[in-house]
Structure 1
Amino acid sequence: MTGYASAQTGAPAASAEGEPRTQAVRRLGMEIRSVNSRFLDLSFRLPDELRSFEPMLRALVTAKVKRGKIEVRAALEGLDSNALPDPPTRVLQRLSSMQDAVQSWLPEARPLSVADVLRLCSNSTPALDAGALNITQLAQNVLTGLLDARAQEGERLSAMLRGHLKQLRALTELATPLVPQLVEQQRQRFMDRWKEAMGLAEGSATPEAAQDRALSEATAFAIRIDVAEEVTRLDSHITEIERLLGKGGEVGKRLDFLIQELHREANTLGSKSSALELTRISVDMKVLIEQMREQVQNLE
């Protein structure tokens, strides 16, 4: 199912060892997107400072989500995204000392530029104050928002499926009275061919030949009209799908199986049909079932 949720929080940035604590605030933003997929497919786009939290985030998501292509994004920045952090004094002192040592051995060495200093200082960024950012709580809040969005999507899909089931049941009710009519039509056709076979037996065919033809017609008759079982199973599958939709929870994979069974019964109904009206009912059923199949794959 599709869904989206995001949230953000902020906390004071940690200061480098030996440096006075600043009041700079770092902001952590997180969002989780979900699109339809038959299986669970997780991907993470995290800054380097948050890579260590990926196992925790993965466990958090997999505990609540079983299907869908899920993307977790996080961004960490200061409130003023254009501001550069002040280089720590201890790092500047060490860079100056190292530069002097290098130039004492290599007098032609180029002095460090401001860009060089900023780049080297960025590698000594102080550790993230993870506790102050409360990443776990933020992730739980975003995941709760995502689940709420997916629940709303699930309710919409469930309402659509119930509408299709109602149409399928109506088609099944149309097919049910056709079964005895088909039996009577086939019985009459069988009797006509039986009489024809007996007429052929008078003088030109033996009674054994007439009996063999009658048995052949009876076998074909039994096979062709045996659609009552398909109609019964269709009604049973529809009832079970309605029950699962009412129950809720993780029903997507079971619904997948039941939709396959519905399609099989509707296809068999059409292949066994000897009446145009029943064939049309079978085609209408398969159209509805195919529409349901596309949506059921999105349900968890």
Structure 2
Amino acid sequence: MLQSMTGFGNARLDADQYTLSVEIKSLNSKGMDLSVRLPRFLAEREYEIRNLVSKSLIRGKVSICIDYTRNKAQKAKNTINKELLKTYYTELSDAADAVGASKGELFRLALHMPEVLQQDQAEDESVEATWETVQPLLAEAMANFNTFRADEGKALTTEIVSYIDRIRILLAEIEKQDPIRVEHIRNRIKGHLTEISSADHFDQNRFEQEMIYFMEKLDIAEEKVRLINHLHYFTETVYLPEPTGKKLGFIAQEIGREINTIGSKANDATIQHHVVEMKEELEKIKEQINNIL
């Protein structure tokens, strides 16, 4: 079953001390184009995270954001270095006396002098312990992301298969028209033959050889067989379990080649109209293949 290359998945953990969230998004891309945004304590894990994401998500312009925030109650608990505060205040007071300045702002100034306010916040948990918390969230986000891709892929599958079925219907119409086309060509040749055979220096053998060559050039039997085979192969590939976007692109090229050849050889207005419609359906398929993993 097809999977969409665009996707979204997230996971979140609300603990007493912190909130941890993982968010993954992707757009279309020919290969894996991965951007990662991590909190500082996971910086050493970036390579490992990139490998995990690349193996699971395979292809696309993927962005992953891991956000880590402490809850308000766990944020900076400041303590005052009172001895240092007294020292700064005394020095500022003496300086104010020396210049006759007001002392109204001295306490605020002293309070904000270097190292007066000190954070008494516990250090982050060790990287290994925090990484153990991140891992299942990352796995959950990737699972949700792939589920999103699969759900989108179901809609794409239905749409693309409908376009293939439409090409099959048009090919069946061409099959019906082909004997009529051949008969028209045969009648035109007979009419020309009557005119030419009465001319001087008419070479019957050469004429027959040229007619055989001409009829072979107009014959579309092989193209029709190859086209139906390509359509079957395309449908089979759609339902393969592995990612098939690139393979479907190659098959679509082969389908287009046969449609173009039928159009160039048909020499029939009705068939040409069907060929135009087939090309239109094929363009829809190519458009959607860009969205397929």
Compute the displacement of 1:285 (Å). 0.4
Compute the displacement of 1:213 (Å). 4.7
Alignment-derived partner of residue 12 in structure 2: 8
| Counterparts of 1:145 and 1:57, CA distance in 2 | 17
| Counterparts of 2:256 and 2:263, CA distance in 1 | 11
Alignment-derived partner of residue 112 in structure 2: 114
Alignment-derived partner of residue 216 in structure 2: 222
State the TM-score, normalized to the length of structure 2.
Answer: 0.80
Instruction: Tell me: CA distance 1:230–1:197, structure 2 relative to 1, closer, same or farther (3 Å).
Output: same
| Counterparts of 2:181 and 2:232, CA distance in 1 | 26
| Counterparts of 2:215 and 2:154, CA distance in 1 | 46
| Counterparts of 1:166 and 1:3, CA distance in 2 | 27
Alignment-derived partner of residue 85 in structure 1: 76
Alignment-derived partner of residue 149 in structure 2: 150
| Counterparts of 1:118 and 1:148, CA distance in 2 | 53
Matched residue type, 2:123: P
Aligned CA-pair RMSD: 3.2
CA-to-aligned-CA distance 1:76-105 (integer Å, 9 cap, x gap): 111229x7413589xx79xx6xx99xx9xx
Q: Check conservation: 1:179, 1:228, Cα contact below 8 A.
A: no
Q: Check conservation: 1:87, 1:118, Cα contact below 8 A.
A: no
State the TM-score, normalized to the length of structure 1.
Answer: 0.78
Structure 1 position 192 matched with structure 2 position 172: no
Instruction: Tell me: CA distance 1:217–1:120, structure 2 relative to 1, closer, same or farther (3 Å).
Output: farther
Instruction: Tell me: CA distance 1:27–1:73, structure 2 relative to 1, closer, same or farther (3 Å).
Output: same
Instruction: Tell me: CA distance 1:88–1:212, structure 2 relative to 1, closer, same or farther (3 Å).
Output: farther
| Counterparts of 1:258 and 1:53, CA distance in 2 | 40
Matched residue type, 1:126: E
Matches within 5 A, 1:216-295: 216-224=210-218, 226-295=219-288
| Counterparts of 2:25 and 2:166, CA distance in 1 | 34
Compute the displacement of 1:223 (Å). 0.5
CA-to-aligned-CA distance 1:190-219 (integer Å, 9 cap, x gap): 222222221222xxxx234x6545533442
Structure 1: 5+ residue stretches without partners: 12-23, 104-110
SS of residue matched to 1:286: helix
Matched residue type, 1:160: E
Q: Which has the higher contact order (CA 8 A, sep 6+)?
A: 2
SS of residue matched to 1:249: coil
Instruction: Tell me: CA distance 1:190–1:30, structure 2 relative to 1, closer, same or farther (3 Å).
Output: same
| Counterparts of 1:212 and 1:286, CA distance in 2 | 38
Alignment-derived partner of residue 181 in structure 1: 180
CA-to-aligned-CA distance 1:171-192 (integer Å, 9 cap, x gap): 1111112222222222222222
Compute the displacement of 1:27 (Å). 1.7
Matched residue type, 2:184: Q
Instruction: Tell me: CA distance 1:58–1:238, structure 2 relative to 1, closer, same or farther (3 Å).
Output: same
Compute the displacement of 1:153 (Å). 0.5
Instruction: Tell me: CA distance 1:183–1:25, structure 2 relative to 1, closer, same or farther (3 Å).
Output: same
Matched residue type, 1:291: K
Alignment-derived partner of residue 94 in structure 2: none
Alignment-derived partner of residue 39 in structure 1: 31
Alignment-derived partner of residue 16 in structure 1: none
Alignment-derived partner of residue 296 in structure 1: 289
Identity, in percent, stands at 25
CA-to-aligned-CA distance 1:224-276 (integer Å, 9 cap, x gap): 2x212121111111111111222332111111111111111111111112111
